[in-house]
Structure 1
């Protein structure tokens, strides 16, 4: 469950061991909507507003330390304060940011030329030493959520007044793209060292270069940011004076807050209030593309679902189309492959072609599924199958849909619902999930690069590879070290085909779109799923 993603990289060493050895197209329709209905952004803001209140739909974060932020809640806030060397744009491209340019003079070196006009909020200039220190923190701090992306890094060195060079142990053509997430975050060295134990806490906050500055954190209530009037990027200087983040998690309360004007906006519009909010004259609801797969993950290589025929049968029997329509208000639809189109990145041409060549996703084909089940030896098909889901409304409904499908085709299926606060233990602790066959997840990648997606979900050591699947390890290692993007893309397509055929460890579920709702007095927020590493609130402002 990507909403508990904050623990994932703590156990991701295996994928990094392998590392050591785009523009966004619509790629057809998504989530049952015509592709033309998905918008990258909203109407640009034209005026300044004093204050905007924005809700963080999964509640209060534990920290705003970017090194320990890898989830919707902290990232939605942090992305407006702390910047990266590279930036992920709302159309899912990657471009220079705090680095003006990057070079790969040989397979083992990435050289970053830095801006010379950037200051931290306290007025101190951003130096090459600040940048090198920031990257080294990810390299040396084993508790950083981005440390696993550095296990192939030998050193980070200042190589000029405004230049930093990363030296690798072996060629790695994913690493550079990852500097558009918090693997490439830049903080002020002096401030960090002075507040090392409290960095990111309510009492201390952070010291970064972004368009909004940390002002205060009223625990249990809100986090307040204020406009950075000296922000280096003139095109993104905020049109909002004060940005207040609230922490409502109850869907009814969020909907009521939006309709009453108490809250000005939110991402992740509650599906239970979708129709009401879409039709309200108070605000505007916009739908955009997102690299999100809501699906199931096989977690037990010794259980009955290690049988490929049972996996094929269950995939046919699950009413994926109904899941998208009923549970997610028509905002999700069946995926052909486990990686959704918005994450195709540099391999879009090859993956579009592969997707077009594969059979269309099937839903609720009980007759075909029962026939497959009957072909499986009785001592295998009669074994009980256990699935665990967190106790939110939509995840429980998804679990019940899988249970219904399994029952219809003669499988002994047990659904276990656990508190959301403890669900992450099933994802990251092998002892907790011992004997569990299936887990729920809502997954999104660090960057819109299929190599990132595959590395986390389907390679040995990947944190969403609870099954321990190793079927694409060799090809993945080859792809990471391949410079030619066309050749690398063909290897990606080869891996995607293998995963599609084996239905491991993650299956094609439903691709979910991104939603954003804003009171009509404001506008400008990107509609695409880009708020986790990009300063999206810098686009906010008055609608008149």
Structure 2
């Protein structure tokens, strides 16, 4: 938050004779994460080589088709990494997770409840019309509409009004102090669309026939459902220095991880985020075809308990399942060691504004559920859950998901539970995060949950009673009070301390079960370069920076 005050802000060698599942259950042979020579498994890169020329086009892989290109429903990786190149927010998220001016050039806080935003002038929508305060008001107000049903509505819980107070000025008034609002406006909640387009498209806005009409360096061209989405360069982009270096680009929808990997190796597809972990070492070695890069991430791989009325109603069972999984071994088997084990639902790098001692204390207080089969068996028996069944939903998004699902099932059986694995299509799996009907009959599923700003409070707001993303319907009054107090706290470190207290409660209750942190993975084929390997690709027009080598 202080950044805003100054403009915001392969299973590895050594496990032969051990299956992946056995590895996770028994921990046989797990070495420290790294290479045989003791060198780190990976190094983070801040950028990639600058491009030397513009290009006509390039292609990019998608593991799943977007649910929608309507920013109000853009809630997953595929949705946002496509949309970020066409639609922009009031604030821009940088590769180092700081924030800078976007479609708002500045803002001013008049008092605890009043925020005034100066809107950038001379910005054109893709249809040629000029952006004004009217478009900003219409775009933000959609999140408050019950008829729209925005997935991001909770970001505006404390907003009383959004009003035009000048041709290029918008004022937001809150009911109570809200010091999390501006961090939300970096992502989908802050996206600006033409008011006219929203009115004319209605409920068809953002689908395959209408697309979007935003202000980004690329504009919507075509969406062939199940196959591809193509974009064209917007030559009237407001920032000439950030004009796209490619005339067009296409996203190829390839749900099969093996097919994606083959396409990257052969050059059929030029690039990809979220490279399948079991293909990373192969691609790293294939330098004739391209290069692997690793960068800053805010994602944590976790198990989400989506039914707190079944076998997991008792916290002892939730703890037991975590203790039945050797998480370091899981990381090595599922992600080939590209990540790190964690007890937190956030990464440390999003605690911007908090003092180092506050961050250390926050993570130090989190519950540590180390691998301990005997204790896990005891807890299941004590809870009277021996022999009880549960449904674990998964999808073949990557080999990591397949390995994790088998690991969870085997671990559960080992401690006396009876799991049933439900394998879904990639597209159907993404609906678990947006449709309560899709979650019916499912007790637990896995998520790679990313934060869309450098604000840890974002994670814990979604676990409040009744929140859209509180998938299991968990409720804890003390937790809610701490989160709400943190939202209204201006001092960044004081806010972080309150967030830490809430984090401890969620950890003690094992609301979600953190497995490990991941790393942003990026593949660039031999034709292209120029993009920074950072999770900011979710809300930054990354494709515009890509040109020819």
**What TM-score, normalized by structure 2, do the two folds share?**
0.85
Are residues 1:104 and 2:104 paired? no
Cα shift at 1:274: 1.8
Choose which of 46, 54, 64 in structure 2 pairs with 1:48.
Answer: 54
Range with bigger deviation, 325-334 or 341-350: 341-350
Look up the match of 2:497. 490
Look up the match of 2:315. 308
| Conservation of the 8 A alpha-carbon contact between 2:463 and 2:474 | no
Indicate the SS of the match to 2:213. Answer: coil
Choose which of 393, 396, 402 in structure 2 pairs with 1:389.
Answer: 393
Are residues 1:87 and 2:104 paired? no
Indicate the SS of the match to 1:67. Answer: coil
Write the distance in 2 (CA, Å) between the matches of 1:146 and 1:314. Answer: 31
| Conservation of the 8 A alpha-carbon contact between 2:367 and 2:507 | no
Write the distance in 1 (CA, Å) between the matches of 2:169 and 2:41. Answer: 42
Write the distance in 1 (CA, Å) between the matches of 2:194 and 2:441. Answer: 46
| Conservation of the 8 A alpha-carbon contact between 2:350 and 2:454 | yes
Cα shift at 1:356: 5.8
Are residues 1:73 and 2:100 paired? no
Look up the match of 2:134. 129
Choose which of 319, 329, 348 in structure 2 pairs with 1:322.
Answer: 329
Write the distance in 1 (CA, Å) between the matches of 2:33 and 2:106. Answer: 36
Range with bigger deviation, 389-398 or 472-481: 389-398
Write the distance in 1 (CA, Å) between the matches of 2:48 and 2:294. Answer: 9
| Conservation of the 8 A alpha-carbon contact between 1:336 and 1:355 | no
Unmatched 5+ stretches in structure 1: 1-21, 24-29
Look up the match of 2:528. 522
1:53-64 superposed matches below 5 A = 53-58=59-64, 60-64=65-69
Choose which of 177, 194, 216 in structure 2 pairs with 1:210.
Answer: 216
| Conservation of the 8 A alpha-carbon contact between 2:178 and 2:487 | yes
Choose which of 216, 228, 242 in structure 2 pairs with 1:236.
Answer: 242
Write the distance in 1 (CA, Å) between the matches of 2:466 and 2:357. Answer: 24
| Conservation of the 8 A alpha-carbon contact between 1:457 and 1:506 | no
Cα shift at 1:436: 5.0
Write the distance in 1 (CA, Å) between the matches of 2:366 and 2:121. Answer: 52
Unmatched 5+ stretches in structure 2: 1-7, 10-31
Look up the match of 1:182. 188
Choose which of 327, 335, 360 in structure 1 pairs with 2:342.
Answer: 335
Write the distance in 2 (CA, Å) between the matches of 1:116 and 1:184. Answer: 17
Change (3 A) 1:348 1:388: farther
Choose which of 260, 273, 277 in structure 2 pairs with 1:254.
Answer: 260
Q: Deviations over 1:483-526 (max 9, x none)?
A: 221211110111122222332x1122111111110112211122
Look up the match of 2:284. 278
| Conservation of the 8 A alpha-carbon contact between 1:240 and 1:541 | yes
Indicate the SS of the match to 1:297. Answer: strand
Write the distance in 1 (CA, Å) between the matches of 2:160 and 2:430. Answer: 32
Indicate the SS of the match to 1:37. Answer: coil
Look up the match of 2:298. 291
Write the distance in 1 (CA, Å) between the matches of 2:200 and 2:318. Answer: 53
Write the distance in 2 (CA, Å) between the matches of 1:61 and 1:304. Answer: 33
Write the distance in 2 (CA, Å) between the matches of 1:47 and 1:161. Answer: 39
Range with bigger deviation, 226-235 or 273-282: 226-235
Cα shift at 1:38: 1.6
Change (3 A) 1:531 1:221: same
Look up the match of 1:156. 162
| Conservation of the 8 A alpha-carbon contact between 2:42 and 2:338 | no
Write the distance in 1 (CA, Å) between the matches of 2:201 and 2:309. Answer: 47
CA RMSD of aligned residues (A): 2.7
| Conservation of the 8 A alpha-carbon contact between 2:91 and 2:102 | yes
Change (3 A) 1:539 1:144: same
Change (3 A) 1:103 1:256: same
Indicate the SS of the match to 1:386. Answer: strand
Range with bigger deviation, 193-202 or 222-231: 193-202
Are residues 1:456 and 2:459 paired? no
Look up the match of 1:16. none
Choose which of 407, 413, 421 in structure 2 pairs with 1:416.
Answer: 421
Are residues 1:477 and 2:484 paired? yes
Cα shift at 1:152: 2.3
Indicate the SS of the match to 1:191. Answer: helix
Cα shift at 1:355: 5.3
Q: Deviations over 1:446-498 (max 9, x none)?
A: 32311111111355424134142325111111111112212111101111222
Write the distance in 2 (CA, Å) between the matches of 1:147 and 1:529. Answer: 23
Look up the match of 2:507. 500
Look up the match of 1:510. 516
Indicate the SS of the match to 1:272. Answer: helix
Write the distance in 2 (CA, Å) between the matches of 1:104 and 1:399. Answer: 48
Cα shift at 1:423: 4.3
Q: How many equivalent pairs are there? A: 510
**What TM-score, normalized by structure 1, do the two folds share?**
0.86
